[in-house]
A and B are shown apart, each in its own frame.
Chain A
């Protein structure tokens, strides 16, 4: 199906064994099978993640003591910019929808593929082209970008580093995101199995659907904004440049109109993963299915209108600050609905703390800290005290890495048996998760304290009184990276030596657990007819014993 002529029965062989028109590496690079594309994304994203982690490690090493340690000040500027750009645009933004969305969205709604399989492959190529352009920009023109990942004007207009190409790379990545969004929205509307009503869809699908809407509506604004930077640099059109009568704050509006909803592009699919894992490992139907589903849409909608809280100290009007602050607090409502429903799902459940569940529990702790420190930033008076300090850095790492990153690991451990047909070493996975958790908090928690005490972000040097906090954070980064190395070593080893996974190793109730591991090429021999909600546990049945 995916590649034209079938060499074997697509219903009997797994999507790995299937032989289509192309062999070897081409059978991957030209495949339109959503599962293979999901894995292509997994590999590419993890490669960029590794680069991002390395840059983060180098930054932390530089900050272990005041004054120059391992790099020059300008190199430090480039390293934090690169770390941000790679992590945001090439890792967390495509993140969960690209990997697990591609792999599991069609399966979870009982479809054989996404609505537009070729566009799906095209979006991966655009992602790759964007990544390559970003890399090329490092070695051409005026050199590595040094503006920070936000490309704020007027500096981004004036710096001699290679901003135009890096910005164009982000523009291309945006197209990849838009195409994925169009695909997912259409798939959710048109490809659901008979009986799979919207309110019988798994919550991960709801999350992907809500996210796709934000991607579709917000990404074009980023595209226009980035093109305007190029226009400013090359043609001097004067939209943002104050020297030509432009308004630099307009840039900030336009940038954050996209980039704040982008936070939810990263977080909402992660929430979807939580809503899958908790019912499975609590052996209970999710508490409050409809509110959880609707809260994804509500977060997507309200989250769209709060971008101004990134600009409280930029000189926007007082009324505007008041409105943005109020709207920001409103996002806490649907987010709270989710958290309380997750906890209520666990209440009186039969909980097994396997690795995916362990990561989810870590997420609840970490994300609560991230969320609550977000309130400090959402309130205008406290925000002004900590603006542009390490408090912000601590907050967004708790929120971004704490949601998308940790839940990527959770999802990887949850769906690993289904994706690869092998089990991993459970004990080793749990040990690595604990090491990661300890390292994570040691790395990022001191940032809240330093930030509160006045340590500015993006500074190469600092006063000696901050040394203790920086040393703790740097040691934390070593521990966290050790945890991740053990975790990935365990997973990679399990690809070859792990025990064969059964169809449903966790007792999950959604459709992916009703097909073989790994799935056959076209997922279902016969499209299933859905008669009940996604999380109904039937304890007397054989499948759940």
Chain B
């Protein structure tokens, strides 16, 4: 049990050091980036791009999520195991989306 406590503390210290190396400047830049992307989403929604609007919105949302996950959730600075865990989750979500769309894209219209 003692060993584990020591392990955890060491890990926390390592993480803290890595966090400090990021600095507030980066966080503010990421925040500004997120606001900018939100502005683009709103603008694109008003452009009447048809079916491309959805694709554009999804791409922008993906970029925003990547920023949040990497910087605010610190995954960029974490050990590989956490990166693997997050990747597994993303793959699962994507797979669910793709399989569900095999229904929605090919469904016969109701008469």
Residues of chain A lying within 8 A (CB to CB) of residue B100: 253, 257
User: Within the assembled complex, what's the spacing in Å between the Cα atoms of A319 and B15?
Assistant: 48
B 83-110 to A, binary, CB cutoff 8 A, 1 in contact else 0 = 0000011001001100110111111100
Residues of chain A lying within 8 A (CB to CB) of residue B95: 304-305
**B1 within 8 A of partner (CB):** yes
Tell whether, in the assembled complex, residue A316 and residue B107 are in contact, meaning their CB atoms are under 8 Å apart: yes
Main DSSP-derived SS at the A contact region: helix
Please count how many residues in chain B sit with their CB below 8 Å of the partner chain's CB atoms. 18
**B48 within 8 A of partner (CB):** no
A 262-292 to B, binary, CB cutoff 8 A, 1 in contact else 0 = 0000000000000000000000000000000
Given contacts A317-B107, A318-B106, contact A304 B92 (CB under 8 A): yes
**A112 within 8 A of partner (CB):** yes
Residues of chain B lying within 8 A (CB to CB) of residue A112: 1
Please count how many residues in chain A sit with their CB below 8 Å of the partner chain's CB atoms. 25
User: Within the assembled complex, what's the spacing in Å between the Cα atoms of A308 and B98?
Assistant: 13
Tell whether, in the assembled complex, residue B96 and residue A257 are in contact, meaning their CB atoms are under 8 Å apart: yes
A 86-120 to B, binary, CB cutoff 8 A, 1 in contact else 0 = 00000000000000000000000000110100000
Tell whether, in the assembled complex, residue A320 and residue B102 are in contact, meaning their CB atoms are under 8 Å apart: yes
Tell whether, in the assembled complex, residue A320 and residue B96 are in contact, meaning their CB atoms are under 8 Å apart: no
Interface residue from B88, B96, B103 paired with A317 (Cβ < 8 Å): B103
Main DSSP-derived SS at the B contact region: helix
Tell whether, in the assembled complex, residue B102 and residue A319 are in contact, meaning their CB atoms are under 8 Å apart: yes
**A33 within 8 A of partner (CB):** no
Tell whether, in the assembled complex, residue A319 and residue B1 are in contact, meaning their CB atoms are under 8 Å apart: no
Tell whether, in the assembled complex, residue B99 and residue A305 are in contact, meaning their CB atoms are under 8 Å apart: yes
User: Within the assembled complex, what's the spacing in Å between the Cα atoms of A323 and B106?
Assistant: 12
In A311-335, the 8 Å CB interface with B consists of 315-320, 323-324
**What is the minimal beta-carbon distance from B73 to any residue of chain A, in angstroms?**
16
Tell whether, in the assembled complex, residue A317 and residue B92 are in contact, meaning their CB atoms are under 8 Å apart: no
**A1 within 8 A of partner (CB):** yes
Tell whether, in the assembled complex, residue B107 and residue A191 are in contact, meaning their CB atoms are under 8 Å apart: no
**What is the minimal beta-carbon distance from A148 to any residue of chain B, in angstroms?**
22
**A190 within 8 A of partner (CB):** yes
A 220-236 to B, binary, CB cutoff 8 A, 1 in contact else 0 = 01000000000000000
Interface residue from A249, A304, A315, A320 paired with B106 (Cβ < 8 Å): A320
**A503 within 8 A of partner (CB):** no
Residues of chain A lying within 8 A (CB to CB) of residue B103: 249, 253, 308, 316-317, 320
Residues of chain B lying within 8 A (CB to CB) of residue A113: 1
**B78 within 8 A of partner (CB):** no
User: Within the assembled complex, what's the spacing in Å between the Cα atoms of A221 and B106?
Assistant: 24
A 109-149 to B, binary, CB cutoff 8 A, 1 in contact else 0 = 00011010000000000000000000000000000000000
**What is the minimal beta-carbon distance from B84 to any residue of chain A, in angstroms?**
11
**What is the minimal beta-carbon distance from A245 to any residue of chain B, in angstroms?**
13
Q: Which residue of A lies closest to B104 (CB)?
A: A317
Residues of chain B lying within 8 A (CB to CB) of residue A317: 102-108
Residues of chain A lying within 8 A (CB to CB) of residue B88: 213, 217
User: Within the assembled complex, what's the spacing in Å between the Cα atoms of A318 and B108?
Assistant: 8
In B53-101, the 8 Å CB interface with A consists of 81, 88-89, 92, 95-96, 99-100
User: Within the assembled complex, what's the spacing in Å between the Cα atoms of A221 and B105?
Assistant: 22
User: Within the assembled complex, what's the spacing in Å between the Cα atoms of A316 and B100?
Assistant: 10
**What is the minimal beta-carbon distance from B108 to any residue of chain A, in angstroms?**
7
User: Within the assembled complex, what's the spacing in Å between the Cα atoms of A334 and B10?
Assistant: 40
Q: Which residue of A lies closest to B89 (CB)?
A: A217
Given contacts A253-B103, A317-B106, A320-B103, contact A522 B1 (CB under 8 A): yes
User: Within the assembled complex, what's the spacing in Å between the Cα atoms of A52 and B7?
Assistant: 44
**What is the minimal beta-carbon distance from B93 to any residue of chain A, in angstroms?**
9
Residues of chain A lying within 8 A (CB to CB) of residue B104: 317
**B43 within 8 A of partner (CB):** no
Q: Which residue of B lies closest to A253 (CB)?
A: B100
Extra contacts besides A318-B106, A319-B106, A320-B107 (10): CB < 8 Å: A189-B81, A190-B7, A217-B89, A217-B92, A304-B92, A317-B105, A317-B107, A317-B108, A320-B99, A522-B1
5 nearest CB pairs, A to B: A317-B106, A320-B103, A317-B107, A320-B102, A319-B106
Residues of A within 8 A of B (CB): 1, 112-113, 115, 189-191, 213, 217, 221, 249, 253, 257, 304-305, 308, 315-320, 323-324, 522
Residues of B within 8 A of A (CB): 1, 4, 7, 81, 88-89, 92, 95-96, 99-100, 102-108
7 CB contacts below 8 A, A to B, read: A189-B81, A253-B100, A308-B103, A315-B107, A317-B107, A320-B106, A323-B99
